[in-house]
A and B are shown apart, each in its own frame.
Chain A
Amino acid sequence: MRWREIRVTVGFVALHLLLALPAAAATALPAVAEIDGYLVRVKGLVDQLPAPPGDDGEIRGYLTGCVERASFLRDLAASPATEQSLLFVELKRFTAFRNTAKDGLGSLTPLGRSLLRAENGEAWPALGHYLMDDYVRGLVIRKALYERKYFEEDDPKQANLLEGWLNSRFDFCRTRDGAQAWYRRDGVSAFEVTVRTEPVVLVTRSTDVAVVLAGGLLYNFLPAVGQDAGDPFRAAVHDDLLSRQVKRVGLRAAAGAVFDGAGPDLLVGAGVQVRAISLWATYQPEETAWSLAVGVSDWRWLKRLRPILPYFGGP
């Protein structure tokens, strides 16, 4: 029976293996004797429960569940045919099972709380500490991806609180632990919403300047990130051509005011952004006129051009 379960598990976790391999290869894993030690301790805790368990039914269920999982893990560890990566994945699944089960426990008796603390604080660390390297690796990668997405762009100081809030609201924009999708790297989404006020300069029909409130949905080309071989607390970032040169692209829509020397007129537009530069198709309803425009989501650029802009005191 156990061997059939093992074969099923091998198939079930196959998708995870590719991701787990680099970590497992560098991580020590619990030996059979350590898992046996955990089993002996937890079985001893189960034996302390009265029979029938009465109000301690929940903690009994939790502890016996841990025994079953640990027995399975032990069989995996004892099998010479078991890949280390499979053992690593099963240890992570065991951990997730324990966390979910612990968080779901209802009220416990003093004995129940005591047994839970003994399993959690005295027995489990012998196995759980083997996941520490993977935890640090995950932190290093997650931090590096956040840095790239939010802080290492061309216009890092053009964002605002609303933009930060929106990126935390939409599921496809925000980070999700363990989520697998084509647009995610280690849970971090490549999509980003922007809502910014920006300068735009018309390039056909006139050279008028506009200020627009622009919303956009951008895609960040995120690099591959791993742990630095020499320093486990540093990230090794591997850029490809897109993540290094293009960085981000997206679609945008805007509404604002164009200053044509005779006062502000309404202007709306749709655009495409690459890095910090946007190419806009704009429309002025008052003049029923279309135009192309260029925008840079960086106000410093407009300040530099101020002396030559007619409406703002230039020639």
Chain B
Amino acid sequence: MATLVVVTHGVGNHPADFALAWEKILHAHHPDADFQVAGLWWEDLLEKVAEKFPIVEQEFADAVKSFGFGQLAQLLDSSTYDQVRDFFMDVLVYLAMGEMTDYLQTALALRLKQLLHDQGAAAGETVLIGHSLGAVALPHVVWRERNAIGYIPYRGLILLAPPLGMASPLPAVVKDPLAAMPGVHGMNRPQILTAFAREWAAGALHLLINRHDLICADVRFSTGGAAVDPIPVAQGFSNAELVLLERECGGSVSCFTQGAADPRQVAANHAVTLYLQRPEFDAAFAHLLGVAP
């Protein structure tokens, strides 16, 4: 039976058939491997929560506009607001509201189980791949399953550009992506990482990090003078955390450098297509499929 590869997208706008682009690249790089790709789409869930809990109530803004105060409504209608909302609201709704974090994890976990059921696939024959916020949600989802049944049943997990190293500047307001793991109350970051890494068989967990990807690494940009990190909070894993991951699940982290450290390259350096075409990904994917890279 062919291996089922379940792929999960991150922030931004993604159509329901987003997995087709991933599938094309995967099959082009592994033409002889026996696998099928299925998309675990959750854009609609993120959008549903973002609409329910907007920064400003939409109906309130419409009402204000009808009474002659149109600037607020104009701002909410603008493409700038759409862009900000698409990228940051996805993160906010997932991490800032614990109830919605739990709702999204629950709904996504259910979709994953139904996907496997519909595809007739066993979890042990399934490889999970997540990118960006999807690389945060997938560990949460599998951890929820682990809490319920006592182990992670999937063959492997590949996380592309995972923002799991990100440290919230206000953890009481917005959780760390790591701290949003279900059922980790009272555990600190090293304890969570240790427990998570130990759950996987050798060679089953892979985290791919582009050192020039702002989302998962502390990139320093040259702006004429000295190179500076424009974001005051840590996005990447600390050295101690990388050592921990290597100790607990050897070979699980692959760091590489691609793209210029240039603010104009932020999106390109984070693109899933970049990650899917890296030799580090090919090696990890081939290992999980049981074929030569």
Write the residues of chain A forming the contact surface with B, with a CB cutoff of 8 angstroms.
Answer: 94-95, 98-99, 102-103, 105, 108, 113, 116-117, 120-121, 124-125, 127-129, 131-132, 134-136, 138-140, 142-143, 146, 150-151, 156-161, 163-165, 167-169, 173-175, 177, 196-197, 199, 233, 298-300, 302-303, 306, 312
A303 touches B62 (CB 8 A): yes
Q: A128-B151, A303-B66 are in contact. Are A161 and B110 (CB under 8 A)?
A: no
Q: A116-B198, A159-B52, A302-B63 are in contact. Are A143 and B99 (CB under 8 A)?
A: no
Interface residue? B29 (CB, 8 A): no
What are 8 residue pairs bridging A and B, where the CB atoms are less than 8 Å apart in the complex?
A113-B198, A138-B148, A150-B99, A159-B54, A160-B57, A173-B99, A300-B62, A303-B66
Number of interface residues of B (CB under 8 A): 53
Shortest CB-to-CB span from A72 to chain B, Å, is: 16
**Alpha-carbon gap, A143 to B104, bound state (A):** 9
**Alpha-carbon gap, A131 to B151, bound state (A):** 11
Shortest 10 CB-CB contacts between residues of A and residues of B: A168-B98, A164-B53, A299-B59, A135-B148, A164-B97, A299-B63, A128-B150, A95-B150, A139-B110, A131-B149
CB-CB < 8 A to A146: which residues of B?
99, 102-103, 106-107
**Alpha-carbon gap, A303 to B53, bound state (A):** 21
Does more than half of chain A's interface fall in helix, strand or loop, or is it mixed?
helix
Partner pick for A164 among B100, B117, B151, CB 8 A cutoff: B100
Interface residue? B43 (CB, 8 A): no
B59 touches A157 (CB 8 A): yes
**Alpha-carbon gap, A163 to B99, bound state (A):** 11
Shortest CB-to-CB span from B119 to chain A, Å, is: 13
A164 touches B99 (CB 8 A): yes
Shortest CB-to-CB span from A240 to chain B, Å, is: 24
A-contact bits for B25-52, CB 8 A (1 contact / 0 none)? 0000000000000000000000011011
B99 touches A168 (CB 8 A): yes
Interface residue? B71 (CB, 8 A): no
Beta-carbon nearest neighbor of A153 in chain B: B52
Interface residue? B145 (CB, 8 A): yes
Shortest CB-to-CB span from B149 to chain A, Å, is: 4
Shortest CB-to-CB span from B283 to chain A, Å, is: 21
Which of B92, B151, B173, B191 has the most C-beta atoms of chain A within 10 angstroms of its own C-beta? B151
**Alpha-carbon gap, A75 to B229, bound state (A):** 60
B113 touches A233 (CB 8 A): yes
A99 touches B52 (CB 8 A): no
Partner pick for B59 among A105, A125, A131, A300, CB 8 A cutoff: A300
Beta-carbon nearest neighbor of B54 in chain A: A160
Interface contacts beyond A108-B198, A120-B150, A156-B52: sample of 9 additional A-B pairs, CB < 8 Å, sorted by A: A98-B150, A131-B148, A135-B113, A150-B103, A151-B52, A158-B60, A168-B100, A197-B57, A233-B113
Shortest CB-to-CB span from B107 to chain A, Å, is: 5
